[in-house]
Amino acid sequence: MSFKNIALVTGANKGIGYEIVKALLESDKPYHVFIGSRSLERGQEAAATLQKECADSSNTVEVIEVDISSDSSIAKAFEIVKASVGRIDTLINNAGITKDLDRIRGKVSLRESLTGSYDVNVAGTHVMTFTFMPLLLQSTDPRLIFITGLGTFDQCARGDFPLPPLERGWLKKMEFETVGYRCTKTALNMLMLDYHYKLQKDGVKVWCIRPGFLATDLGDAKEMVAAQGAGHPSIGGRLVRSVVEGERDADTGKYVVKDRIQAF
């Protein structure tokens, strides 16, 4: 597979991750894409659907079971990919969760709504990236991408929040909440900057990408956000592909959104 861009996408059996894989498979450039999935069965189902949807593509897809909340799962996935292909050219850290809505629904505590999300979105992503770095450094054009969103100080400092003004009193009555998710994505932006700094002499191009306001299963709120005007996840898939294929190389180390750079 030396002639193919070997990409690994975490959390790729549905949502934006699925659409990233699909966009790469539909490209006229050569790819072999690993679908990172916490559930092997769901990953295989996604791969089968993608092969039907992209039947005319010569690009290939393979499922790798990886749960980024588990160090042993990440280590096992690393050994499998190392033995199979010996390198990756593009690592796309897409896997993430939110427990904010679970807290509103009474399913988790306030503390768990934060620590659970940090464990996956920040710690899990860091361990995944750290572990797979030796394979990424085997590439002649290594690319490292962190999928982010809703985590910019710039927007929040200007009062740009995904909530209308709230009435006086405590507790606040809310049907939609993002505070834990936003905090983890702010931390993820710092993680990207740290890797960008440390990997400068290794030639690794690093970005944060905000796909946009898209209707996914994140937090089991797909219908809610769709009603609020969220777009189709394929929009995010195409944006990520454009970065993978070099259209935003001038923006390495930045927070990339469609057609511009977002201030941190």
- CA atoms of 161 and 178, how far apart (whole Å): 9
Give residue 210's Cα distance to chain centre: 9
CB 20 within 8 A of CB 102: no
3-state secondary structure of 256: strand
What is the rounded CA–CA span in Å between residue 19 and residue 64? Answer: 17
Residue pLDDT tens, the chain, 264 long: 668 999 999 999 999 999 999 999 999 999 999 999 999 999 999 999 999 999 999 999 999 999 999 999 999 999 999 999 999 999 999 999 999 999 999 999 999 999 999 999 999 999 999 999 999 999 999 999 999 987 688 888 888 777 788 899 999 888 888 899 999 999 999 999 999 999 999 999 999 999 866 556 664 555 655 555 556 788 889 999 999 999 999 999 999 998 899 888
188 near 148, Cβ under 8 Å? yes
CB-based contact 92:145 (threshold 8 Å): yes
- Hey, where are the domains in the chain? 5-261
Instruction: Evaluate whether the domain defined by 5-261 bears CATH number 3.40.50.300.
Output: no
Angle at 57 between CA 53 and CA 61, to 5 degrees: 75
